[in-house]
Amino acid sequence: MFKKKLQKMLGVVLAVTMMGTLALTGCGNSDGDGEKNDGSGADAGKDADKPTVTLMIDITGFPPLNSATQMTLDKFPEYNIVSKQWPGEDITKTIKTTFASGGNESIDIAFIACRQLQLYKDADMLLDLTPYLEEDPEWKASVFDSMWEAATIDGKIYAIPWQAAYPVMICNNDILKEAGVTMTDDMSYDELMAAAKKIKDKGYAPFGIEGGTAPWVLRQAYLNGFDTEEDVVAFCNGEIPFTDPRVKAAFDKAAEVFTENYFYLDEGALAATTDEITSGFANGKIACMFSTNSAAKNVLDTTGIENYSIVGMPSFSNTGLHNVLGAPDVYFVPANVQNEKETVEVLKYLTSTEVMQAMVDGGAVVANANVDTSDEFYAMVSKDLDRVHVLDPVHLSDEIADYLNVSAHSEYIYNGEAVLEKLEGMRQKL
């Protein structure tokens, strides 16, 4: 039975996810609810004697998933493969309604943001995939080790990661050369700020970030603000309070990058729009634009920047840690699946290297460790997949997630430690 707050919590999570501030997916919404089976509708060519497997992964305007759907339709003529269009912001309602129907309106494989898994697990909606992965260790080994944490709850695996998104900096190398600086993946906070000052002294904005994703800076800072990975995990799990001096130091650094006016539009940086940042980067006003690895190609195509480099998002820390904020999208199978064996077979194919390679060729960044990375551009946008940190205090509650992803950063600039006390109060409620 669904917990009382499930619909509200999932709605908040999804809204934040689709803005890119949380899940970093880079996928567009679909506003249609159509179905297709080999392009002919859900019932066209349906054979009552064949097992039916229903997919809800197809997104209008996202070719990689369109390709994955078609490859699956072609791969399994022995099954009735029904494709339902992914419903965008209606995903929660659709899954809830479908699950409650007891399988009469089945969805056998759907994708969600990894942060939603715990909420669905609490509602007893997820099939435990652990036995299947134990039977096929090659299947499990095909996914980056760093990604499995996002799909694991209490030692059991409930989903398969397929797309892996994390923030990057897309740099205009002409500006960096003029300023005499080089941006690297493992820059310390001091090195970053020194480079930023040189860039600003040359008359350019060092960084550009859309206001809705500005919290990435804060979250990247506290993920790297401790001396050991063990402490990072303890903090993310709520065992180290937000009022800890190390957390304050991370918040201070994240705020300083903005108060020094190193972001485009100076005091208006926290409210900058995507169009403003994209335009500023295209017009040579911004040295480094913050984006996601999955959106980098589109950014470059849109802005026309030819002399570029793509580096990992700064750690905003001097600790030596360099966790990369990120989150994979995952496929899951509902606990009430009707044709479990056949569905898992289809899921295995959807996450196979064959399908993942086709998605890479279509512009996706995937969680599969076996795809060809010889392409220079893909190598740049996938180089940090093995160190993506999917654990984050945003997983503690919807209240904490909403605050960290919306207003904590800006409020800290003006209210300081009061923000940490507020966050710790939210955590204590748990």
Instruction: Classify the C-alpha dihedral 57-216-430-418 as positive or negative.
Output: negative
CATH code, residues 167-325+396-428: 3.40.190.10
Q: Comparing 6-165+327-390 with 167-325+396-428, is the CATH topology the same?
A: yes
Q: CA nearest 342: which of 22, 51, 20? A: 51
Grade residue 33 by pLDDT with cuts at 50, 70 and 90.
Answer: very low
For 290-332, what is each residue's pLDDT tens digit?
Answer: 999 988 988 999 999 999 999 999 999 999 999 999 888 999 9
- Domain 6-165+327-390 top-level CATH class: alpha beta
For 332-390, what is each residue's pLDDT tens digit?
Answer: 999 999 999 999 999 999 999 999 999 999 889 999 999 999 999 999 999 999 889 98
Q: Identify the pLDDT of residue 102.
A: 67
Alpha carbon distance 285, 278 (integer Å) = 10
- Does residue 312 contact residue 10 with C-beta atoms inside 8 Å? no
For residue 185, what are the CA distances in angstroms to 22, 160, 165, 171, 333?
A: 21, 28, 16, 12, 36
Global confidence as pTM = 0.81
Pairing of strands 205-208, 286-292: parallel
For 62-80, what is each residue's pLDDT tens digit?
Answer: 888 889 999 999 999 999 9
Q: What does the domain layout of the chain look like in residue ranges?
A: 6-165+327-390, 167-325+396-428
Rounded to whole angstroms, the maximal C-alpha distance in the chain is: 72
Helix (H) / strand (E) element for 415: namely: helix 408-415
Q: CA nearest 31: which of 68, 59, 7? A: 59
Alpha carbon distance 117, 97 (integer Å) = 17
Residue 84, Cβ neighbours under 10 Å: how many?
A: 25
